[in-house]
Structure 1
Amino acid sequence: MAFTLASGAHAQTEVEFWHAFSGNNGEAVDELAARFNESQDDIEIRPVYTGNYTEGTQRLQAAIAGNTAPGLVMLEVTRYGLFAERDALASLEPYIDASGEEFTDRIRPFALEASKYLGESYVLPFNVSTPVMYFNKDAFREAGLDPENPPETWDELLAAAKTLTLREDGDVRQWGLNTPPQWVRWAMTNQAGGGWVDPTDNSIQIDMPESIRAYQTAADWVNVDEVASLDAAIDEDVADQYFLSGRAAIDFTSTGSLTGRLEQADFDLGVAPLPCDTQCAAPIGGATLGIVANAPQDVQDAAWEFIEFVTTPENNAFIFAQTGYLPIIKGALETERAQDLIEANPQYLTANEQLEVAFARARPPAMPAIRSEEPAVWQSIVLEEETAEEALTAFAETMRSMMATN
């Protein structure tokens, strides 16, 4: 453990905090840590960006193996089970018990439940989201579509995308939509009546006919309906660029991107719930905070103090306002900061209202590996190397093997 001198008075406990936020969201983490550090003299939180959720998970695995892990980590909600299962995270139950019911009562139940592994708290929620549909209201108006009534079903989405796809001399000037990123593909399988992994018993669902239909539908938007770009379908960064530059009229991603998109978009930005199929469904996303089990006890205790600090209404409202992630602490929405934000930008309530159809995803130890494998499966489908049935049938067997191994 490293120490720094605090005003020459006594040793200060330093806690390295590995997180996955960059850009605007990373600035919010830095600001929150600075506020905590300024609020007391005994602890210094040092935020360190370690890449996106997948990269951060891989880096933490290597650090734990090499005994170089930090004290505090951010872990995406479907990936922390791997570390909890292997005792790499400290149980938070003693801290929670010591803090009393007042602490847990202030966390909204859906967020608290999404942060449990086999009924025990190894992490606590930090940023919670659902994916939403972003759309270019100016493009809707130019195409004769009503931007105040965006598509609510897959059929309506396809119809709008056909109208929004603009071609000139055989070239596409504007794509109707971007195909969905991974967790929205997950949403589509649930909307169709299938899924990826059943969270109640960890049974594999991705080879169900309903799940196969969802994947094939998304791929057909590229290859059959020709309303979505293949380049954007296989590279989520390209999809993001296409939407913000006006080359795609509809996009799907986290509500946690809302603040950044409001700043970056030079068009009238629309936000709506995900279009539905046989049912509406939106996965709960975001990340949690966990304490590394082999960190020195004083570092663990200091990390907990920071967790308590961020789970207050005022600080949760700050994260909500700075990023767009959902307010998960009771009272956060009622703060002046949150109310001012909502009055100026009602779009911030879209994801909050979508919580009525939100679902928590399975988080077995194999899930990080499963999620790392899925993009190649999707690519084989959208490149028409395999049908969705062929690719997902094979992937389901791979998933079963991975679940058994882990």
Structure 2
Amino acid sequence: MNPRSPRRRRAGAILVGLLAIASVAACGGADPQPADSAASAAPAEGVTVTMWTRAATQAQSERLVAAYNKGHKNQVKMTVIPTDNYQPRIAAAAGAKQLPDIFASDVIFVPNYTSQGLFLDITDRINALPFKDKLAPSHMKLGTLDGRQYTLPHTLDLSVWFWNKDLYSKAGLDPEKGPTTLKEFAEQATTVDEKLGQDGKVSGTFFGGNCGGCYVFTFWPSVWASGGQVMNPEGTTSLNDQPAMTNVFNIYKDLYAKGITGATAKEEQGPTWTGFFPKGGIGVMPMPSTTLGLMPKDMKVGVAPIAGPDGGESTFVGGDSVGISSTTENADAAWEFLSWSVSDEAQVEVMAKNKDVLARTDLSDNKYSAEDPRVVLINSLVAKGQTPYALRFGQTYNDPQGPWLRLAREAVFGDPGKVAQLNTDITKSLQQ
């Protein structure tokens, strides 16, 4: 998931009908592909496989491909497609039987592709991996359909809390102790704002108040941390009117009412919501883990798991999964790259070396991440986080015209009495 630009997901609403038609043309029907019969074959040498990825995860994908190509006779030719255009391009390529050998997908939309038969069944290949049980569980869950597995984790982005240690010190807070509950988060944000916010240059916290993807990425982990859920397991019934979600909304509603959230939080639509914290004027706020390496070198930043009102910890496990297209003629060579991409070598010497979140839970404390306890913490959350499943996720939760954004805005800025009806609208959208 790329919550920093949730409006890009609007293409998901357009894709539903197109993808159904395209996948039938490409695969001879909408049934998932049968098990890969060549699961144990050795790849031929000197094969070039094609791969598509979206621009949102370009940097990590390029590093993996470059390292693989340097050490293997087989090669990967990668094409980066603008995120705005990615889903329509996949649909069009499926309809024309011109899918690449390998393609990545925002993990949220993997169930759509697996249900339409666009990925090859690689269950037997995955089962042969000695570390199969250590692969990022949320990504593996969304890549599984009817007990068969179709994708591997590719790139990961987690939601965490960042706090500005310098602002904490100036506000009289302990700069080494970030929040451990959502209530403490609110208290610390309030202290920073009250002590330092008189000139309008400092705010206690910030969030994307007009951005469905931002709410999902940053509010839902507090629900999970408290033991609650936002949907049923099938992704067809909304639970966003239940106490676990209501309690989270109420804390943010109170922060906004007191002016702790910054002047533009209500209007923030997503593209710039992560740009305020690096400027040094926000005390504490939820952020994508991938932005840690983009912070100014002289900024002292603490990192904490997102907690529920009274404790616990969780995260939204976003990013991309990757699979082999069901129409490939190079399944063995494609698998050679995919399996290498989750190997010790790739995960440690490529991903960890660049402070990226790892796709394997058993490698979270490695020689590179051990240099920064914050990175170790982020990697450790992969096993504790969740990635929600819903075939109509984009239309329901990310579309600016969808019912989720209306519910969230009423709960935080408007009339909470409307939440029950809006929750019914979410369920109707999920079941269409």
TM-score w.r.t. the length of structure 2 is 0.76
Point out 4+ residue stretches in structure 1 off by more than 6 angstroms. Answer: 167-170
Q: Which of 227, 231, 239 matches 2:264?
A: 231
Identity of aligned residues (%): 18
Q: Which of 283, 286, 294 matches 1:249?
A: 283
Contact 1:57–1:79 (CA<8 Å) still a contact in 2? no
DSSP 3-state at the match of 1:229: coil
Contact 2:117–2:326 (CA<8 Å) still a contact in 1? yes
DSSP 3-state at the match of 2:320: strand
2:18 — aligned with what? none
DSSP 3-state at the match of 2:379: helix
| 1:62–1:231 distance in 2 versus 1, CA, 3 Å | farther
Matches within 5 A, 1:342-381: 342-343=370-371, 345-354=372-381, 358-373=384-399, 376-377=405-406, 380-381=409-410
2:103 — aligned with what? 73
Contact 2:302–2:374 (CA<8 Å) still a contact in 1? yes
Deviates more, 1:114-123 or 1:77-86: 114-123
| 1:105–1:149 distance in 2 versus 1, CA, 3 Å | closer
DSSP 3-state at the match of 2:338: helix
**How big is the shift at 1:198?**
2.1
**How big is the shift at 1:328?**
0.8
Aligned counterparts of 2:375 and 2:132: Cα–Cα separation in 1:
25
1:310 — aligned with what? 341
**Matched residues, number:** 376
Contact 1:74–1:288 (CA<8 Å) still a contact in 2? yes
Matches within 5 A, 1:184-223: 184-191=218-225, 194-199=228-233, 202-222=236-256
Aligned counterparts of 1:399 and 1:63: Cα–Cα separation in 2:
31
Residues 147-195 of structure 1: CA deviation (Å, up to 9, x unaligned) = 1111212222122111211688965210111126331221233345543
| 1:167–1:303 distance in 2 versus 1, CA, 3 Å | same
Deviates more, 1:159-168 or 1:271-280: 159-168
**How big is the shift at 1:245?**
0.5
Matches within 5 A, 1:118-133: 118-133=146-161
| 1:221–1:73 distance in 2 versus 1, CA, 3 Å | farther
Q: Which of 172, 176, 194 matches 1:144?
A: 172
| 1:360–1:114 distance in 2 versus 1, CA, 3 Å | farther
**How big is the shift at 1:90?**
1.7
Equivalent residue letter for 2:189: A
| 1:62–1:244 distance in 2 versus 1, CA, 3 Å | farther
| 1:359–1:41 distance in 2 versus 1, CA, 3 Å | closer
Q: Which of 391, 396, 400 matches 2:423?
A: 396
Residues 32-59 of structure 1: CA deviation (Å, up to 9, x unaligned) = 211212223333331414327xx64455
Question: Does residue 1:183 correspond to 2:217, yes or no?
Answer: yes
**How big is the shift at 1:144?**
0.9
Equivalent residue letter for 1:38: K
| 1:61–1:225 distance in 2 versus 1, CA, 3 Å | farther
Equivalent residue letter for 1:304: W
Equivalent residue letter for 1:146: D
Aligned counterparts of 2:392 and 2:356: Cα–Cα separation in 1:
29
Aligned counterparts of 1:327 and 1:201: Cα–Cα separation in 2:
24
Question: Does residue 1:134 correspond to 2:162, yes or no?
Answer: yes
2:67 — aligned with what? 35
| 1:56–1:252 distance in 2 versus 1, CA, 3 Å | farther
| 1:166–1:235 distance in 2 versus 1, CA, 3 Å | farther
Aligned counterparts of 1:32 and 1:312: Cα–Cα separation in 2:
11
Contact 1:166–1:172 (CA<8 Å) still a contact in 2? no
Equivalent residue letter for 1:16: M
DSSP 3-state at the match of 1:199: coil
Deviates more, 1:118-127 or 1:277-286: 277-286
1:16 — aligned with what? 51
Aligned counterparts of 1:169 and 1:210: Cα–Cα separation in 2:
31
**How big is the shift at 1:258?**
2.3
Equivalent residue letter for 2:336: E
DSSP 3-state at the match of 1:365: coil
RMSD over equivalenced CA pairs, Å:
3.1
TM-score w.r.t. the length of structure 1 is 0.80
Aligned counterparts of 2:297 and 2:274: Cα–Cα separation in 1:
11
Aligned counterparts of 2:193 and 2:321: Cα–Cα separation in 1:
39
1:6 — aligned with what? none
Question: Does residue 1:285 correspond to 2:345, yes or no?
Answer: no
1:160 — aligned with what? 188
| 1:216–1:74 distance in 2 versus 1, CA, 3 Å | farther
2:25 — aligned with what? none
What are the ranges of 5 or more consecutive residues in structure 1 without an aligned counterpart?
1-9
